[in-house]
């Protein structure tokens, strides 16, 4: 609480500095009177100057005293601090939802003020508007729903999408985050309630990348029934071609109206995540955040873990990495890691990656077991059937096949098909243990303790699953059982750990939030036709090189989220430069591809920064 109050004061000082340099241009508005007050984009609440009140027909509709932006800001922060005080001691879910509600009410009322407090206090507010609270919000979305935000497409809209797209009020849209709600964080299929995720991701786009909120759309495409959803259709999910036809129709409609919009696919279940990525990536400017954004963030962290051991980056090829969870994120990470190895050694034969997941047989047993056995027995049996993926495994997903171990590769270690996690860790002695399974606590005390025998001087534990309770282990347990010399990263935020003797176990947040805003922004301002592997690689390398050796030595692999706009500007510029080098940049607005290609590195960063929107009250000019 105290931290928020203190940072509010300093944020306000920073805000003033920024305001004094920025002269906001006028904003054309086609409405008057209460219509303006009810539009969060234009509304300034009590902040409308008297002359503007006269011009826009607002005189008498507001209390007479004009309250400055700074005062409004301070009042909001005071209310937030009071809420923290008043909810002290209450269960954390209740407190988090209360904080989300107060922010959401401001979002619904006055976007300029909302985004300013978000930008200035991103470290405190990211865990509320984004992971982990956003997961809780999605689970409770039907009850929390007050007013629409974003667009919704369902199976009933087949054949109508082209006209529906024109229902969106903004003429220009730059950024779309799309979900089908089928794999929301580690929480499963939440259907239409998953819309909370695109909303949270787009809030991060505004905060980190300065995407103008009037030029973005959160979208839910949902084609199914789910028991606890009040807001969705009560129908089975579409499958096969029927599903793809709908997504095809949606993406064609988007492209027809906004051909330069970047579309981010988010939280699709694995089969559709890969399928849609392959289907659209060479035709549209799109990417899948869970596969590609996560991969870049993980790779940056893994390279940091190599540096933390005092080894050259090329040693990455020798790192033994155990990945738990062969889903969209886990496979995305391994694919990018393998590309990095092949760049370093010109061969992938020597990579030392071990992948564990459920055997498909589990899925066959699942239905029977759930019906016949109590959940505890089911959980134990399911855990027993999770293990090392080898070429012996039947029905292996084609995307996982390149990482399946051959008998020859593992027999010397005494491992085989389905070897358990504890066996693998004990025998491989990995440098890195990385979880993207969505299952909380799979890095048990025994598994973490076995990491003490790692061949690394600084074993790395990445518990990347979200939200917090789905993390493979907590930060405290990681340091307690795996030792004080580990480097630790998690997808959801954990507090740093007090190691005693005045030492701190640093907690890194290995979350794709460090990359997706820069990938989206760099693609947008380069006018990229498509998003290539090299652009994604450039993003990851940029993030990896952001940290100093000193920081890395103290276990800090990622920058503080406080500097997310600067990071995003650099990542965006790296993506832009690679888009030019890769021949996919078509230019943005008045800036053509030739002009872009003549910019030096600093100029690209400045150009990206210049394209970032910053929330200030603009003078409103009424036009009929
Ligand atoms: N930190 C980040 O930036 C980030 C990014 C993407 C995804 N995630 C998180 O990672 C998790 C997985 O996401 P995904 O998109 O890969 O989901 P997914 O459903 O595609 O994959 C999860 C995989 O884990 C496997 N699995 C389940 N239980 C397991 C167990 N006990 N041991 C080993 N494997 C097991 C599943 O069979 C599946 O293959 C989610 O919790 C998600 O929130 C985090
Ligand atoms: O949403 C996040 O926090 C990261 C990631 O995209 C996820 O699906 O968990
Ligand atoms: Mg995601």
End-of-domain residue from the set 244, 262, 284 = 284
Are residues 105 and 86 in contact, defined by beta-carbon separation less than 8 angstroms?
no
Q: What is the pLDDT of residue 546?
A: 95
Mutate to test the pocket of ligand 2, among 491, 493, 513 (most ligand atoms within 8 A of CB): 491
Q: Which helix (H) or strand (E) holds 154?
A: strand 151-154
Number of independent structural domains in the chain: 4
Domain-embedded: residue 573:
yes
Q: What is the pLDDT of residue 219?
A: 82
Q: What is the pLDDT of residue 100?
A: 98
Cα–Cα distance between 148 and 398 in angstroms, integer?
39
- Same domain for 80 and 221, yes or no, is no
Instruction: For residue range 427-449, list pLDDT tens digits in order.
Output: 999 999 999 999 999 999 999 99
Helix axes 2-21, 111-120, angle to 10 degrees: 110
CA of 461 to the centre of ligand 2 (A): 18
Domain-embedded: residue 62:
no
| Mean pLDDT over each residue of the chain, to the nearest integer | 91
The structure tokens listed for 26 are: 């006028």
Give catalytic residues, as residue numbers. Answer: 130, 201
Q: What is the pLDDT of residue 321?
A: 98
CA of 219 to the centre of ligand 2 (A): 16
Q: Spell 109-134 as b/e; 16+ CB within 10 A means b.
A: ebbbbbbbbbbbbbbbbbbbbbbbbb
- Same domain for 368 and 491, yes or no, is yes
Q: Which residue has the higher pLDDT, 230 or 550?
A: 550
- Same domain for 306 and 357, yes or no, is yes
**Residue recorded with tokens 């070429």:** 391
Instruction: For residue range 76-129, list pLDDT tens digits in order.
Output: 999 999 999 999 999 999 999 999 999 999 999 999 999 999 999 999 999 999
Characterise 63 by phi-psi region: left (phi > 0), alpha (psi -120 to 50), beta (else): beta
The structure tokens listed for 471 are: 């993390």
Domain-embedded: residue 576:
yes
The neighbouring-strand residues paired with 476 are none
Instruction: For residue range 278-332, list pLDDT tens digits in order.
Output: 999 999 999 999 999 999 999 999 999 999 999 999 999 999 999 999 999 999 9
Cα–Cα distance between 438 and 351 in angstroms, integer?
25
- Same domain for 342 and 484, yes or no, is yes
Q: Does residue 11 register a pLDDT over 70?
A: no
- Same domain for 335 and 312, yes or no, is yes
Are residues 404 and 326 in contact, defined by beta-carbon separation less than 8 angstroms?
no
- Same domain for 211 and 335, yes or no, is no
Q: Spell 433-463 as b/e; 16+ CB within 10 A means b.
A: bbbbbbbbbbbbeebbbbbeebebebbbbbb
Q: What is the pLDDT of residue 24?
A: 75
With a pLDDT cut of 90, the percent of the chain lying above it is: 83
Are residues 475 and 506 in contact, defined by beta-carbon separation less than 8 angstroms?
no
- 364: pLDDT confidence band, cut at 50, 70 and 90? low
- Same domain for 446 and 305, yes or no, is yes
Q: What is the pLDDT of residue 238?
A: 86
Integer angstrom CA distances of residue 181 from 331, 416, 419, 610, 616: 20, 36, 33, 34, 34
Domain-embedded: residue 594:
yes
Domain-embedded: residue 308:
yes
- Same domain for 147 and 118, yes or no, is no
- Same domain for 317 and 463, yes or no, is yes
Q: What is the pLDDT of residue 217?
A: 78
Cα–Cα distance between 507 and 24 in angstroms, integer?
39
- Same domain for 466 and 563, yes or no, is no
End-of-domain residue from the set 468, 497, 526 = 497
Q: What is the pLDDT of residue 159?
A: 95
Are residues 223 and 238 in contact, defined by beta-carbon separation less than 8 angstroms?
yes
Nearest CA to ligand 1 atom 39: 327
User: Of all atoms in ligand 1, which is nearest to the CA of residue 290?
Assistant: 6
* Residue ranges making up the domain that contains 6: 2-30+68-126
Q: What is the pLDDT of residue 383?
A: 58
Q: Which residue has the higher pLDDT, 551 or 365?
A: 551
With a pLDDT cut of 70, the percent of the chain lying above it is: 90
Domain-embedded: residue 622:
no
Q: Domain with 317 in it: what CATH number?
A: 3.40.50.720
Q: What is the pLDDT of residue 348?
A: 64
Mutate to test the pocket of ligand 1, among 301, 325, 361, 444 (most ligand atoms within 8 A of CB): 325
Helical H runs in 210-348?
A: 240-257, 270-280, 294-308, 328-345
- What mean pLDDT is predicted for residues 145-166? 92
Closest listed ligand to the CA of 273: 1
Ligand 1 pocket (Cβ < 6 Å) reads: 183, 185-186, 270, 290, 294, 297, 324-330, 356-358, 383, 386, 436-439, 442, 464-466, 470, 491, 510-512
- What mean pLDDT is predicted for residues 601-616? 97
Domain-embedded: residue 618:
no
108 appears as a binding residue in the annotation: no
- Same domain for 465 and 320, yes or no, is yes
The structure tokens listed for 379 are: 């959980």
Q: What is the pLDDT of residue 587?
A: 98
Domain-embedded: residue 81:
yes
Q: Does residue 16 register a pLDDT over 50?
A: no
552 SS3 class: helix
Task: Write the DSSP assignment of 568-603 as a string of letters.
Answer: HHHHHHHHHHHHHHTT-B--BTTB-HHHHHT--HHH
CA of 545 to the centre of ligand 1 (A): 27
- Same domain for 260 and 389, yes or no, is no
Mutate to test the pocket of ligand 2, among 195, 196, 264, 294 (most ligand atoms within 8 A of CB): 294
Nearest CA to ligand 2 atom 3: 131
How big is the chain, counted in residues? 624
Instruction: For residue range 127-149, list pLDDT tens digits in order.
Output: 999 999 999 999 999 899 998 89
CA-based nearest residue to 194, from 204, 215, 180, 205? 180
């Amino acid at each position: 609480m105290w931290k928020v109050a203190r940072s509010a004061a300093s944020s306000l000082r920073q805000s003033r500095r920024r305001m004094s340099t920025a002269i906001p241009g006028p904003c054309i508005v086609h409405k008057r009177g209460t219509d303006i007050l009810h539009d969060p984009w234009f509304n300034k609440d009590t902040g409308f100057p008297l002359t503007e009140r006269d011009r826009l027909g607002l005189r008498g509709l507001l209390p007479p005293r004009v309250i400055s932006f700074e005062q409004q800001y301070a009042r909001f922060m005071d209310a937030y601090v009071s809420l923290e005080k008043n909810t002290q001691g209450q269960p954390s879910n209740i407190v988090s939802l209360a904080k989300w509600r107060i922010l959401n009410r401001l979002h619904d009322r006055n976007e300029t003020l909302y985004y300013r407090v978000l930008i200035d206090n991103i470290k405190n507010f990211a865990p509320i508007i984004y992971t982990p609270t956003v997961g809780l919000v999605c689970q409770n979305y039907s009850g929390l729903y007050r007013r629409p935000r974003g667009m919704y497409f369902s199976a009933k809209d087949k054949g109508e999408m082209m006209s529906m797209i024109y229902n969106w009020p903004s003429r220009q849209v730059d950024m779309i985050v799309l979900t089908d709600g089928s794999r929301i964080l580690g929480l499963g299929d939440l259907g239409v309630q998953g819309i909370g995720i695109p909303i949270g991701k787009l809030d991060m786009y505004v905060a980190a990348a300065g995407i103008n909120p009037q030029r973005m759309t959160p979208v839910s495409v949902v084609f199914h029934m789910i028991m606890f959803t009040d807001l969705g259709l009560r129908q089975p999910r579409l499958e096969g071609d029927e599903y793809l036809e709908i997504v095809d129709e949606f993406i064609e409609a988007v492209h027809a109206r906004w051909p330069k919009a970047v579309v981010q696919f988010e939280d699709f279940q694995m089969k559709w995540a890969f399928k849609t990525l392959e289907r659209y990536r060479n035709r549209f400017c799109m990417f899948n955040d869970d596969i590609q954004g996560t991969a870049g963030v993980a790779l940056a962290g893994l390279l940091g873990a190599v540096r933390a051991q005092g080894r050259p980056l090329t040693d990455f090829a020798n790192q033994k990495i155990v990945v738990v969870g062969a889903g969209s994120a886990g496979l995305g990470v391994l694919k990018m890691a393998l590309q990095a190895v092949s760049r370093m050694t010109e061969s992938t034969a020597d990579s030392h990656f071990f992948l564990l997941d459920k055997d498909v047989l589990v899925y066959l047993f699942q239905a029977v077991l759930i019906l016949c056995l109590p959940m505890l027995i089911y959980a134990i049996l399911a855990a027993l059937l999770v293990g090392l993926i080898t070429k012996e495994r039947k029905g292996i997903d084609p995307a996982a096949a390149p990482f399946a171990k051959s008998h020859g590769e593992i027999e010397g270690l005494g491992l085989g098909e389905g070897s358990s996690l504890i066996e693998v860790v004990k025998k491989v002695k990995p440098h890195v243990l990385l979880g993207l399974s969505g299952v909380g606590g799979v890095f048990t005390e025994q598994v973490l303790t076995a990491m003490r025998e790692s061949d690394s001087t600084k074993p790395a534990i990445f518990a990347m699953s979200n939200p917090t309770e789905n993390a493979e282990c907590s930060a405290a347990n990681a340091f307690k059982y795996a030792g004080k010399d580990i480097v630790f990263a998690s997808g959801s935020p954990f507090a740093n750990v007090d190691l005693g003797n005045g030492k701190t176990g640093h907690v890194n947040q290995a979350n794709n939030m460090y990359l997706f805003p820069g990938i989206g922004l760099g693609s947008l301002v380069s006018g990229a036709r498509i998003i290539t592997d090299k652009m994604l690689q450039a993003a990851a390398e940029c993030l990896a090189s952001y940290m100093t050796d000193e920081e890395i030595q103290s276990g800090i692999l990622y920058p503080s989220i406080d500097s997310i706009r600067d990071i995003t500007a650099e990542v965006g510029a790296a993506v832009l430069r690679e888009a030019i080098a890769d021949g996919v940049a078509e230019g943005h607005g008045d800036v053509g591809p030739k002009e872009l290609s003549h910019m030096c590195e600093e100029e690209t960063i400045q150009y990206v920064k210049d394209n970032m929107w910053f929330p200030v009250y603009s003078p409103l000019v009424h036009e009929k």
